[in-house]
Structure 1
Amino acid sequence: MSTRSAGTSPNARRRISEDDLRWADVLMVMEHKHRDRIVAAFPDLAELLLIHVLDIPDEYREMDPELVELLTLVVPTLLHQE
């Protein structure tokens, strides 16, 4: 399994791209606004993908131990549903 990380904000260090969406089997976003931005920017591609909203507030710094712990608990459960 391979993963990529990208942001939806114009200020993101690495913004999500059309290539990312074509590469992905599943998308996981922290908040509904992230999903909405992806759908607005790439409506045709987003329609083809399963996008999980994790309902984790986007208020953590990168690799924050608390965020890593939350993701470690939530993400495997969602992947096993596929």
Structure 2
Amino acid sequence: MPRVPFLCSKNKLRSPTAEAIFSDVEGWEVYSAGISNDAAVHVSLEDIEWADYIFVMEKSHKKKLSNKFGGAINKQTVVSLDIPDNYEYMDAALIEILNNKVPSLVR
């Protein structure tokens, strides 16, 4: 069963949307968190160690993740979805982008 956290900056719009739409996928465990210090829910070392796939919304998130948890990222596949921070929570366009990108990347 793949364990899949979705990460963005503040865990308010993009990553909670991803968690909401993929939480019902049979066989997936999903979670969302933020990388910034002022995130609603902060990503932790335990989250990284738990993950099989880690989806970040922007390349800058991937770099921050590597800087903070680089030693713990070993077996995980880290993917930047290249989704800018200009969508609201559950925005139809954001949902479409996520549905088009994510499922084919998780085995």
Structure 1 residue 54, shift from structure 2 partner: 0.7
> Does 1 or 2 have the higher relative contact order (CA < 8 Å, sep 6+)?
2
Question: What one-letter code is carried by the residue in structure 1 that aligns with 2:82?
Answer: D
- Percent sequence identity over aligned pairs: 36
Segments of 5+ residues of structure 1 without an aligned counterpart are none
Number of residue-to-residue matches in the alignment:
80
Question: What one-letter code is carried by the residue in structure 1 that aligns with 2:35?
Answer: T
Deviates more, 1:9-18 or 1:53-62: 53-62
Larger fraction in strand = 2
Question: What one-letter code is carried by the residue in structure 1 that aligns with 2:80?
Answer: V
Matched, 1:22 2:49: yes
1:25 touches 1:49 (CA, 8 Å); kept in 2? yes
Report the aligned-residue RMSD: 1.3
Matched, 1:36 2:93: no
Structure 2 distance, partners of 1:64, 1:3, is 19
Matches within 5 A, 1:1-82: 1-79=28-106, 82=107
Structure 1 residue 46, shift from structure 2 partner: 2.2
Secondary structure of the 2:32 match is coil
2:35 touches 2:65 (CA, 8 Å); kept in 1? yes
Structure 1 distance, partners of 2:49, 2:95, is 26
Deviations 1:6-49 (A, max 9, x none): 11112211111111111110101110110111111111112442
Segments of 5+ residues of structure 2 without an aligned counterpart are 1-27
TM-score, with normalisation over the residues of structure 2?
0.68
Structure 1 residue 78, shift from structure 2 partner: 1.1
